[in-house]
């Protein structure tokens, strides 16, 4: 990237007020890159892990500690050749792919500071990846490739923090089902991408009971959120995919932890894309934000 000419993403970032926490994050990220440039993935690195991350809302741009954890996680891995991300915020009846070229982001949230609706994340062309992913999916399923749909906030918010230079091609794959078995099979079809330097990500939130949060005490962790998180951590540590798949009836805290399930089920794409879904993944982020479990992990 020619840093003498600001990209559209950098130009938009330059208009964020100087005192905003994300501006400080950009400075820290630039300093880290200057000191030790992020090494690009090569075949000698072997397969990248698959990731499940709790992505937060635009308020994540105001959470310095969480942003630092996400960025450090990204830099602990080789920089991927591309990213394929499945987000909780795009559900379709059949699999669909976002636009392979930079387009307007999907600002699928309300009530936030206007600056978040002016943010950009214009990443390189992902046409080659789109063709490859379409070829990996079942021949019996038509994969719709959108010409204009951009990334939703479950994709662009965490990725803008992890790869703020917007120099990695990104493609979003829709969530075509909430059935764990089908999502595991979908992830398995994507597994080979990891051996080609593509980072496969399931983006959700380990608990997402927003209707049941005590908005007068955002430091409080509801019992249903803590209990579900402990249950999930234990099942993941034991590699018990069957137990995880029974979350609707087996997990404590349901249905409060997930009154709708789309923030949990991307986890099954992540596990399906792992070399061995029953191998315990590595937790990279835990704890809580506004009472919700931030648990995130990588699977080899």
C-alpha 289, offset from chain centre: 16
Query: 38-47 contacts: CB < 8 A, separation 24 or more?
Result: 38/74, 38/75, 38/78, 38/79, 39/78, 39/79, 40/78, 40/79, 40/81, 41/78, 41/79, 41/80, 41/81, 41/197, 42/78, 42/197, 43/197, 45/78, 45/197, 46/195, 47/194, 47/195, 47/275, 47/300
What letter does residue 119 receive in the DSSP assignment? -
User: CA geometry: angle at 116 spanning 163 and 220, to 5°?
Assistant: 90
pLDDT of residue 138: 81
Asked if omega into 255 is within 30° of 0 (cis), the reply is yes
Q: Average pLDDT of 83-105?
A: 95
**Which residue is associated with the tokens 């939130």?**
205
- Please say whether the beta carbons of 266 and 215 come within 8 A: no
Kindly state the DSSP code that residue 49 receives in the 8-state scheme: P
State how far the Cα of 35 lies from the Cα of 256, in Å rounded to an integer: 45
Mean pLDDT confidence for 283-299: 98
What pLDDT score was predicted for residue 142? 79
pTM for the model stands at: 0.96
Q: Does residue 4 register a pLDDT over 50?
A: no
Using the predicted structure, report yes or no on whether residue 81 has a pLDDT greater than 80. Answer: yes
Q: How many CA atoms are closer than 13 Å to the CA of 142, on its beta-carbon side?
A: 3
Tens digits of per-residue pLDDT, 216-241? 999 999 999 999 999 999 999 999 99
- The pair of structure tokens assigned to 200 is 């496969």
Gap between the Cα atoms of 87 and 13, Å rounded:
23
What is the average pLDDT score of the chain? 96
Task: List pLDDT tens digits, range 140-158.
Answer: 677 899 989 999 999 999 9
CB-CB neighbours of 23 under 10 Å: 15
pLDDT band for position 201 (cuts 50, 70, 90): very high
pLDDT bracket for residue 56 (50, 70, 90): confident
């Amino acid at each position: 990237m020619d840093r003498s000419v600001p990209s559209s993403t950098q130009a938009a970032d330059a208009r964020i007020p100087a005192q905003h926490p994300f501006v400080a994050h950009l400075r820290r990220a630039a300093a880290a890159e200057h000191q030790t440039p992020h090494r690009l993935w090569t075949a000698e690195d072997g397969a990248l892990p698959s990731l499940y991350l709790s992505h937060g809302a635009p308020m994540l741009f105001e959470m310095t500690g969480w942003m630092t954890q996400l960025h450090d996680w990204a830099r602990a891995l080789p920089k991927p050749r591309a990213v394929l991300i499945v987000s909780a915020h795009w559900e379709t009846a059949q699999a669909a792919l976002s636009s392979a070229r930079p387009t307007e982001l999907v600002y699928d949230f309300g009530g936030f500071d206007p600056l978040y609706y002016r943010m950009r994340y214009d990443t390189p062309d992902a046409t080659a990846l789109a063709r490859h992913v379409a070829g990996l999916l079942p021949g019996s399923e038509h994969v719709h490739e959108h010409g204009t749909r951009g990334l939703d906030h479950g994709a662009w918010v965490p990725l803008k923090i992890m790869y703020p230079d917007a120099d990695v091609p990104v493609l979003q794959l829709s969530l075509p089902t909430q059935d764990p078995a089908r999502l595991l099979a979908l992830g398995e079809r994507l597994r080979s991408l990891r051996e080609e330097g593509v980072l496969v990500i399931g983006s959700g939130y380990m608990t997402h009971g927003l209707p049941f949060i005590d908005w007068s005490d955002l430091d409080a962790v509801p019992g249903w959120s803590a209990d579900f998180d402990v249950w999930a951590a234990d099942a993941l540590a034991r590699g018990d995919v069957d137990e995880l798949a029974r979350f609707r009836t087996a997990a404590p805290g349901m249905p409060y932890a997930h009154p709708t399930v789309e923030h949990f089920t991307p986890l099954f794409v992540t596990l399906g894309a792992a070399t061995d879904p029953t191998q315990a993944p590595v937790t990279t982020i835990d704890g809580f934000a506004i009472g919700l479990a931030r648990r995130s992990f990588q699977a080899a």
